[in-house]
Amino acid sequence: MKTKILIMLITFCSLQSCRKDAKIETAEKEEQTNIELKKTSPNNNLNISILLDLSDRINPEKYPSPAMQYYQRDIGYLMSVAKTLETHILSKRINQIDDKIQVFIDPEPFDPNLNKKIGELKYHFTKDTAIKDSIFMVSEKYGLISDFIYKAAIDDNHYVGSDIWGFFKNKVDDYCIDEGYRNILVILSDGYMYHKDAKMEQENRTSYLIPQWIEKNRLNNEKWQQRMEEKNFGFMVANTNLSNLEVLVLGINPNKGNPYEEDVIRRYWSQWFDEMKVAKHELKQADLPTHMDKIIRDFILKKE
C-alpha cells in the first residue's frame, strides 16, 4: 500500500514539474518573440536624408571662420551622420538590416558631374548588400564627395540660395518619407531661408527669412516675441502632416549685431515644424564637428 502511495506521489510531482517546464518554455518563447519584434520594429530601420544649403553662407571670404570654415564644419557633420549610420547597421543582425541614407540639394546643380557625385551618396543596405567593408566605406565616401561638392559650389561663386521651403512643400513627402522606417531629415543651414525664385509673402507669413526682414519688422529688440505673436510672423505652412518625419537642423549661425537674432530664427523654425506636425525637431548652432558628433549620434540613435 505504501509503495502504491509513493508511486502516485512521484507521478503527481512529475506531472506538476512537466507543467511548470511547459509554462517556463512558453514564457521564454513569448519573451523571445517580444525581443524579436522589438528588434525588427520599423523604428529600427533608418531612412536618413540630408538637405544641403549651398547658399553664400558657405563662402569663406564673405563669412570667414578662423577656427574652421563653415563648409568644413558641414563636411564634419555629414561624416558624423554617416558614421552613426554605420554604427547602427553594425549593431543589427544581418537579416534585420534595411537602412538608407541619401543627400539632396535644392535646387539641383546644373553640373551633371556634380549631380552624379550626389547620386553616389545614396545607399540602401539590406541583408543582401550589407558587406562589412562597404558599410565602413560610407563615412569615407561622404567625406571625400562632400568636400568635392562644397569646393565646386565655392569655386562656382554663383549663390542663388537654397529652396528649403519649396523642398518641404513639393519634395519631402516623396523623397524623405517611407513607410516602415524611422524617417530622419538632417538640414545643414545657418537658419536663414532664401531662394531668388521662391520668395513669397502672405501678410506677415513668408517662404523666406533674411536679416533684413527681421530688422525691417522690428524683431531685433526685447519685445520680439510679443510682436511675433501679435502680428502672426512666421513661415508660411508648406505641409500639413509630417508626423512620420524627424528633423535635425545643424549650423545655426545668426548675423552679429542683434542679440535676439538667434531667438527669432529658432522661433520661426520651431513654430514652422510644429505647424507641419513634425514628429520631433532640434536646432543646433554651427559648432565644431567634434562637439556636434555626440548630438548627432544621440538624435539618430534615439539616446535621451
**10 Å Cβ neighbour count for 193?**
26
* 18 pLDDT more than 60: no
Query: Averaged over 88-96, what is the pLDDT?
Result: 94
Domain boundaries, the chain: 1-36, 45-300
Q: What confidence tier does 132 reach under pLDDT thresholds 50, 70, 90? A: confident
Question: In the numeric block, which cell numbers belong to residue 146?
Answer: 562632400
The mean of the pLDDT values for the chain is 89
The answer on pLDDT for 38 being more than 60 is no
Q: Residue 193 gets which letter from DSSP?
A: B
Does the pLDDT of residue 13 top 50, yes or no? Answer: no
Nearest alpha carbon to residue 176 among 122, 235, 120: 122
Phi, psi of 87 (to 5 degrees): -60, -45
End-to-end CA distance of the chain: 68
Whether 246 and 278 have beta carbons less than 8 Å apart is answered as: yes
In this structure, the number of other CB atoms found within 10 A of the CB of residue 230 comes to 10
C-alpha 8/C-alpha 273 separation (Å) is 72
Percent of the chain with pLDDT over 90: 78
Question: How does DSSP assign 59-97, residue by residue?
Answer: -TTTS--SSS-HHHHHHHHHHHHHHHHHHHHHTS-GGG-
Q: Which residues, in sequence order, are CB contacts of 47 under 8 Å at separation 6+?
A: 99, 100, 176, 177, 178, 181, 182, 183, 184
Instruction: State pLDDT tens for residues 233-257.
Output: 999 999 999 999 999 999 999 999 9
Mean pLDDT of 205-221: 97
Q: Which fold has domain 45-300?
A: Rossmann fold (3.40.50)
The grid coordinates listed for 130 are: 550589407
Region 133-146: mean pLDDT is 94
